[in-house]
Amino acid sequence: MASITEILELERLEKDIFRGIATETMLQRTFGGQVAGQALVSAVRTVDPEFTVHSLHGYFLRPGDPVLPIVYLVDRIRDGRSFVTRRVSAIQQGQAIFTMSASFHSGDEGIEHQDEMPQVPDPDEVPSATEAEDPVTAWLAHEWSDWDLRLVRREDVAPFPGNAARQQVWFRSRDVLPDDPVFHVCTLAYMSDMTLLGSASVPHPCEHLQSASLDHALWFLRPFRADEWLLYDQLSPSAGFGRALTQGRIFDRTGNLVAAVVQEGLTRYQRD
């Protein structure tokens, strides 16, 4: 598996056209987080540094071929005084596999509040995914070996009254990453697709499902580093008709709410 630095190092082909590398993987289709992260990098490279990304909204249109590179076409939708908007299309073999809109803000003064971080075991108290006996968790640890993933045991996940499904994951890069804050934001776009849809399976542990990300929205709320511990608090408020809605809140170790995620994914019964 390529490092996150290699994955997010896009080649500029033209003013607003970029190409991302293919990476070695055991997946049958390109990891959605890779496409989202590379798409965000391409958008960032067309925006003045005084603007920082605060949200993205993406749709996964077709499965990506993991052995082929991906070309990203950036459309400069808006350049305003406070906000900038970019639209990105990810292309393989002449077809769009992913489309994304990203919004950038120059930053203003305003009100401030946030949810409290849930009660959760410290990452030092949670076994690494590399030690897991569960085959799915062990596969995650192997596929993303550059990341220290720690899934909180289900009996240790704090109850959430009235909630249908919940899981919690600590994660961080094993390697020290570049200091550029933009790099950490794009890295989180990559990581935010990992494990989130799995929260919908918590009440259905024995079901064999065909799953895939359908759409993905991510809001960046406060500064963070992806090589320091982040808690991914994941909920699935609804599943039905072969789709599941999932939500995530991402906190740093000190309790700052740094990002929020909403994703709908395919969760239909596996076909013969």
Q: Which residues are catalytic?
A: 193, 213, 263
∠ CA 115-232-269 to the nearest 5 degrees?
A: 120
- List helix spans (H) across the chain: 4-7, 32-44, 135-143, 181-191
Indicate the helix (H) or strand (E) that contains 98. Answer: strand 95-105
Kindly report the number of other CB atoms within 10 A of residue 29's CB atom: 15
Buried b (16+ CB within 10 A) or exposed e, 99-126: bbbbbbbeeeeeeeeeeebeebeebeeb
* Residue 239: strand, helix, or coil: strand
Amino acid of residue 105: H
Please give the DSSP secondary-structure letter assigned to residue 11.
E
Spatial CA neighbour of 34 closest among 189, 249, 184, 216? 189
Instruction: Quote the tokens at residue 120.
Output: 């959760």
Q: Which residues contact 11 (CB under 8 A, 6 or more apart)?
A: 18, 19, 20
Strand partners, 87: 75, 101
